[in-house]
Amino acid sequence: MKHWNATERFKIEAAVYDNKAKDFLRHINTMDLIIDPNVFPFPNRDHVDFINYALTCLGNVDGKTFLHCGCGTGASTVYFAKRGAKITGIDISKENIRICKMRAKINEIDDHIEFISSPVELLDYEDQYFDLIFGNQILHHLDLKMACMNFAAC
Give the start-to-end residue ranges of the domains of the chain: 6-31+60-148
SS3 label, residue 115? strand
* pTM for the whole structure: 0.86
Class of domain 6-31+60-148: alpha beta
Per-residue pLDDT of 121-150, as tens digits, reads: 777 888 789 999 888 777 666 666 666 666
Reading phi first (left if > 0) and then psi (alpha if -120 to 50, else beta), residue 134 is in beta
What CA–CA distances, in Å, run from 103 to 29, 70, 77, 79, 145?
Answer: 11, 16, 10, 10, 32
Per-residue pLDDT of 19-54, as tens digits, reads: 999 999 999 999 999 999 999 998 888 889 989 999
Summarize the confidence of residues 85-114 as an average pLDDT: 95
